[in-house]
């Protein structure tokens, strides 16, 4: 029994195949049959894309959280600088008024 060589599909082909599942009346079996692949292979691609999408969302959320923490840290530092400048300004204003 000879095995057929393993076929490789591009990411774009997989995305388009999964996108066809959202068409009205499209079933996993019918789309797979039209593309010449197995229904389980199409299901695997669908799950991969869903997982990749959620992984990307998690990565994006972590990046945004890190950026927010940096901005809060910088905001706190700037508020401290403003407070120091305010106190220095009041000090020098008093000194100038005495002279």
- Classify residue 20 as exposed, middle or buried by CB count within 10 Å of its CB (0-12, 13-18, 19+): middle
| C-beta separation of 39 from 29 below 8 A | yes
> pLDDT tens digit string along 39-98?
999 999 999 888 888 878 888 899 999 999 999 999 999 999 999 999 999 998 888 887
User: Structural domains in the chain?
Assistant: 11-98 (1.10.10)
Higher pLDDT, 97 or 31: 31
Q: Would you tell me how many other CB atoms lie within 10 Å of the CB of residue 62?
A: 10
Q: How confident is the model at residue 1 (pLDDT cuts 50, 70, 90)?
A: low
């Amino acid at each position: 029994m000879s095995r057929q060589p393993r076929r490789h599909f591009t990411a774009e082909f997989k995305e388009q195949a999964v996108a066809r599942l959202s068409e009205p009346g499209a079933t996993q079996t019918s789309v797979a049959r039209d593309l010449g692949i197995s229904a389980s292979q199409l299901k695997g691609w669908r799950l991969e894309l869903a997982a990749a999408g959620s992984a990307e969302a998690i990565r994006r959320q972590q990046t945004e959280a890190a950026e927010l923490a940096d901005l809060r840290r910088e905001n706190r530092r700037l508020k401290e600088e403003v407070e120091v400048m305010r106190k220095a300004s009041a000090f020098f204003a008093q000194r100038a008024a005495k002279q």
